[in-house]
């Protein structure tokens, strides 16, 4: 056991949630908040009812619809994804049967689960939040320890308000220096994954720290933590500070009055001790980062926009070379070629990574008075009803529409629906996307996704090709 004065934030949160130590570094851990969505939630409810178990703490369990629902205006329970309705109705039925609150279609609070949980103040610092979705780590942006789980663990959490987990090791990533103009939180996390690989985080809880984060908005922090799972971390988070408190204070489910002060004092006490030791520590100099764009089929396949994709002669192991060749075969690129200037067919701004107000605001500042290039299919799905309403009130929606973007309803949409046979880009399209996964066929049959920041996506949509947003900013 580590000595008491040398604990990390993660150690402290972990310790405060141990219900039972099962030995072998494995614990029964309390779940403060459990979020369900229709894709895994319907599965968990089905398992629960088949086995005749009950929901233990319905008041700590919340649900919304995001993964399977359509995002076209006028949507209903019927979905473009074949058989999606069964999931939506299965979730709703389970919520009704077990008394779980649901932010359903038509509700002002509906949205992508990882967008609405901080927005509602359901994700709080020092708490654990579990959801049947790998990007649950997003909530680390407000200091919540989020764990993505499978639907059986969802059943476990429903029945016991706990999960059984092996304690991850501690990693700290320090983002030093300031971000150059045209470079956004998304670029930071993509750059990190490119540096350390998509598997560097396996078995780790990653604390993101450093100067660059202290001045960063909560929405930027959420984008960074969102992609902790793309370096395969078990979870990722940023310790709360005054920016966090300012963001959360007054949110619907955040504590109020004297309880707020007590909570803040507790949250402050969770900060990693000076003497805390991390199993791994990495430092990144942010001042040297350029806008990032992926070229392959893993988030680690990423380069500075002004660089070239790996060439044949680059020093890589035989295994890496085989993987790279396979990625090129899918993305139809040649070794050593530049990405800048590559023609695209589509652009997408949305997903739990980059669909918050500030993401749309940055994109709108680029789209204002401009139009997307002819033949570009450009789509924006705000992350939540709250984001959508706010963007509409601020005139941002009008800018998107005038520029030729479709303005959709909140949901995961083209982040996952394309792969599931629903809303999709045309087969084989090359698109630029503010999402988090450039996996094969994720955004439609044969669709090639280049991941980038919302600013890079917006500017590339205007140019009709992958473009360096710094040339606009300058």
Binding site for ligand SF4 (CB under 6 A): 66-67, 112, 114, 133, 135, 351-352, 412, 415-416, 436
Binders of another protein among residues 387 to 406 (CB under 8 A) are none
CB atoms within 10 A of CB 322: 11
Contact 425, 411 (CB under 8 A): no
Q: Which of 471, 466, 473 is nearest to 452 (CA)?
A: 466
Q: State both tokens at 314.
A: 């680059």
* H or E element in which residue 40 lies: helix 38-51
Which partner in another protein, ligand SF4, none is near 412 (CB below 5 to 8 A by kind)?
ligand SF4
Which partner in ligand SF4, another protein, none is near 415 (CB below 5 to 8 A by kind)?
ligand SF4
Q: Which of 55, 65, 95, 448 binds another protein (CB under 8 A)?
A: 95
Q: Which of 11, 32, 187, 423 binds another protein (CB under 8 A)?
A: 32
Cβ 234 to another protein shortest distance, Å = 5
Residue 135: helix, strand or coil by DSSP?
helix
Which partner in another protein, ligand SF4, none is near 352 (CB below 5 to 8 A by kind)?
ligand SF4
CA distances from 243 to 43, 116, 249, 288 (A): 37, 18, 10, 25
**Binding string, residues 159-198; x marks residues near another protein by CB under 8 A:** xxxx-xxx-x-----------------------------x
Strands lying side by side in the sheet with 162-166: 18-21, 26-30, 162-166
Residue closer to another protein, measured from CB, 399 or 448: 448
Which partner in ligand SF4, another protein, none is near 103 (CB below 5 to 8 A by kind)?
another protein
414-444 per-residue burial string, b: 16 or more CB within 10 A, e: under 16: bbbbbbbebbbbeeebbbbbbbbbbebbbbb
Stretch that binds another protein, among 184-192, 250-258, 347-355, 398-406 (CB under 8 A): 250-258
- The DSSP bridge partners found for residue 129 are 33, 146
Q: Which of 262, 288, 332, 375 binds another protein (CB under 8 A)?
A: 262
**Binding string, residues 323-362; x marks residues near another protein by CB under 8 A:** x--x------------------------------------
**Binding string, residues 119-158; x marks residues near another protein by CB under 8 A:** -----x-xx----xxx-------------xxxxxx-xx--
Contact 112, 410 (CB under 8 A): yes
């Amino acid at each position: 056991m580590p000595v008491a004065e040398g604990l990390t934030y993660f150690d402290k949160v972990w310790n405060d949630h141990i219900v039972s130590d099962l030995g072998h570094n494995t614990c029964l851990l309390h779940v403060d908040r459990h979020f369900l969505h229709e894709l895994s939630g319907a599965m968990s409810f089905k398992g629960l009812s088949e086995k005749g178990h009950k929901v233990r703490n319905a008041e700590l369990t919340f649900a919304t619809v995001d993964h399977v629902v359509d995002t076209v205006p006028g949507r209903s329970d019927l979905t473009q994804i074949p058989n999606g309705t069964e999931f939506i109705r299965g979730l709703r039925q389970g919520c009704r049967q077990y008394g779980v609150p649901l932010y359903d279609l038509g509700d002002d609070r509906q949205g992508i689960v990882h967008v609405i949980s901080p927005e509602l103040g359901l994700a709080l610092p020092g708490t654990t939040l579990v959801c049947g979705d790998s990007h649950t780590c997003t909530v680390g942006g407000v200091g919540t320890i989020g764990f993505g789980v499978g639907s059986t663990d969802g059943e476990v959490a429903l029945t016991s308000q706990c999960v059984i987990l092996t304690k991850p090791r501690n990693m700290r990533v320090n983002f030093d220096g300031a971000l150059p103009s045209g470079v956004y939180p998304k670029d930071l996390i993509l750059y990190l994954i490119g540096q350390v690989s998509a598997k560097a985080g396996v078995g780790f809880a990653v604390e993101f720290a450093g100067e660059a984060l202290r001045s960063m908005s909560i929405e930027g922090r959420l984008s960074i933590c969102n992609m902790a799972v793309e370096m395969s971390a078990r979870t990722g988070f940023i310790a709360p500070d005054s920016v966090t408190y300012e963001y959360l204070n007054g949110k619907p489910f955040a504590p109020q009055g004297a309880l707020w002060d007590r909570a803040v004092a507790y949250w402050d006490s969770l900060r990693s001790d000076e003497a805390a030791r991390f199993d791994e520590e990495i430092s990144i100099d942010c001042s040297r980062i350029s806008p990032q764009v992926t070229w392959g089929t893993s988030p680690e396949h990423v380069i500075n926009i002004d660089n070239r994709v790996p060439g044949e002669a680059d020093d890589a192991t035989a295994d890496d070379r085989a993987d790279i060749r396979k990625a090129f075969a899918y993305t139809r690129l040649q070794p050593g070629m530049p990405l800048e200037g590559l023609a695209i067919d589509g652009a997408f701004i949305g997903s739990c990574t980059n669909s918050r107000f500030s993401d749309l605001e940055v994109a709108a500042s680029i789209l204002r008075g401009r139009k997307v290039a002819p033949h570009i299919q450009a789509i924006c799905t705000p992350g939540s009803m709250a984001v959508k309403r706010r963007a509409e009130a601020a005139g941002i929606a009008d800018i998107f529409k005038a520029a030729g973007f479709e303005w959709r309803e909140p949901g995961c949409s083209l982040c996952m629906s394309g792969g599931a046979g629903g809303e999709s880009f045309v087969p084989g399209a090359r698109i630029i996307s503010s999402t988090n996964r450039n996996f094969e066929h994720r955004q439609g049959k044969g669709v090639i996704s280049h991941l980038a920041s919302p600013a890079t996506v917006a500017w590339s949509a205007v140019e009709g090709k992958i473009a360096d947003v710094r040339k606009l900013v300058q």
